[in-house]
């Protein structure tokens, strides 16, 4: 039986969800269609929602990878790119594109814009919500496309799928490593930190809270709880009443955050391979330090940007070379959850 405190929390979260949905509806006025091909979306299509800015280097591999997994249509918001991103996306037949010059931070880091598109186009679809530097993998992803994964989730009665973000990095300073649009980033970003992650369950929203990886080791060694959050819920069978609470780290209603087995077993899960540390990281860090659009309390991350701008070698003797999803499963970073 629910206690009075739990009932009060549930009531507050319902109202918060309604406020966030109403906020997204208002923010729709900030979007201008560039190439609206949503009329081509069919029932059962798997959709991907992405907010981007100056991602011309990342997008060719990002789209090709997720097309290969089975994404049928990409709905993208471009936040005033000036590197050719918008023109390139507008030429992609499976992309619908909107643009905005408004503040990414004031749109809850793009979530408000994507929530409106999910309300309008995502209802009833399995929807991926990703950043352009996130590459989704999951058990058997080379041979079982997303429709096989979502069919499995449907059979289990699950509406959401969790994935841990894994920071990938090169050996040597990132700025010195060559990379061209369309290349496989993991030929360069071949390394990760395997054993320094810590996980807690947050009882208020029932979500996991994961910290660690190379950013905790190199940039937040003296304050690990300030390191970037790594837990995400990127894949959801969408309903127009759903809304992400904090990026894709948390979602409302809170039952969708239960992407883990509370009884001590293992639930099917994936990994988002994070390609942040390509050779553009120094220039991007310099720009983002000035723009102050990527953190709620931007001043507390100035030292982080300064450290990135120094182009440090992130590799260490304890770094692990990436070999594939089975390796990540063996390390406990993802799980098949009985999917054999």
Average pLDDT, the chain: 93
Q: 3-state DSSP call for residue 7?
A: helix
User: Would you say residue 62 lies in a domain?
Assistant: yes
Confidence band for 289, pLDDT divided at 50, 70 and 90: confident
Q: How far apart are the first and last CA of the chain?
A: 37
Both tokens of 55, joined, read 């991602």
Using an 8 Å Cβ cutoff, are 238 and 290 in contact?
no
User: What pLDDT does residue 336 have?
Assistant: 95
In a domain, residue 227? The reply is yes
- The tally of CA atoms less than 13 A away on the side-chain side of residue 323 is 9
Whether residue 340 lies inside any domain: the answer is no
Asked whether residue 71 is domain-assigned, the answer is yes
Encode pLDDT of 116-168 as tens digits: 999 999 999 999 999 999 999 999 999 999 999 999 999 999 999 999 999 99
**Region 297-306: what's the mean pLDDT?**
70
Structure token pair of residue 202: 């947050």
User: Is 335 among the domain residues?
Assistant: no
The per-residue pLDDT for range 57-77, each reduced to its tens digit, is 999 999 999 999 999 999 999
Of 237, 239, 215, nearest in space to 225 by CA: 215
294 Cα distance to chain centroid: 14
CB atoms within 10 A of CB 204: 10
Residue that wins the pLDDT comparison between 216 and 297: 216
Stretch 177-181: mean pLDDT: 94
**Cα-Cα-Cα-Cα dihedral of 79, 231, 228, 289, to 10°?**
0
Residue 339 lies in a domain: no
Query: How many CB atoms neighbour CB 184 within 10 A?
Result: 11
Whether pLDDT at 298 is above 60: no
Q: 275, 189 in Cβ contact below 8 A? A: yes
Count the domains in the chain.
1
Handedness of CA 275, 279, 280, 284 (dihedral sign): positive
In a domain? residue 337: no
Where in the sequence is the domain holding 198, given as residue range(s)? Answer: 4-330
Using a 10 angstrom Cβ sphere, with 0-12 exposed, 13-18 middle and 19 or more buried, the burial of residue 263 is exposed
State the pTM of this model. 0.95
How far lies 306's CA from each of 129, 212, 290, 323, in Å?
29, 20, 11, 31
C-beta atoms surrounding 165 within 10 Å: 23
Which are the contacts of 308, defined by CB distance < 8 A and separation ≥ 6? 219, 281, 282, 285
The answer to whether residue 108 is domain-embedded is yes
């Amino acid at each position: 039986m629910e206690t009075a405190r739990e009932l009060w929390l549930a009531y507050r979260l319902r109202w918060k969800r309604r406020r966030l949905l109403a906020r997204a509806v208002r923010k729709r006025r900030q979007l201008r269609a560039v190439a609206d091909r949503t009329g081509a979306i069919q029932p059962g299509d798997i959709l991907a929602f992405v907010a981007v800015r100056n991602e011309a280097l990342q997008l060719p591999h990002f789209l090709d990878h997720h097309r290969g997994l089975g994404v049928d249509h990409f709905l993208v918001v471009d936040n005033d790119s000036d590197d050719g991103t918008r023109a390139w996306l507008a030429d992609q037949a499976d992309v619908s594109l909107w643009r905005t010059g408004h503040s990414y931070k004031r749109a809850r880091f793009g979530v408000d814009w994507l929530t409106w598109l999910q309300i309008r186009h995502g209802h009833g679809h399995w929807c991926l919500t990703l950043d352009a530097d996130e590459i989704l993998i999951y058990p058997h992803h080379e041979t079982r496309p997303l429709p096989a994964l979502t069919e499995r989730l449907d059979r289990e009665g699950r509406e959401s799928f969790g994935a841990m973000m894994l920071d990938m990095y090169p050996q040597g300073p990132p700025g010195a490593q060559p990379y061209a649009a369309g290349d496989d980033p993991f030929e360069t970003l071949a390394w990760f930190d395997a054993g320094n992650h810590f996980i807690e369950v947050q009882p208020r929203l029932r979500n996991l809270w994961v910290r660690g990886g190379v950013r905790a080791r190199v940039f937040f060694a003296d304050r690990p709880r300030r390191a970037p959050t790594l837990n995400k819920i990127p894949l959801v069978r969408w309903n127009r009443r759903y809304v992400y609470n904090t990026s894709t780290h948390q979602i409302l209603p809170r039952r969708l955050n239960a992407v883990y087995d509370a009884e001590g077993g293992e639930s099917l899960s994936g990994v988002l391979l994070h390609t942040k540390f390509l050779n553009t990281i120094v220039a991007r860090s310099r720009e983002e330090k000035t723009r102050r659009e990527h953190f709620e309390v931007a001043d507390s991350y100035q030292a982080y940007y300064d450290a990135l701008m120094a182009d440090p070698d992130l590799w260490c003797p304890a770094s692990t070379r990436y070999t594939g999803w089975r390796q990540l499963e063996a390390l406990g970073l993802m799980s098949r959850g009985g999917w054999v």
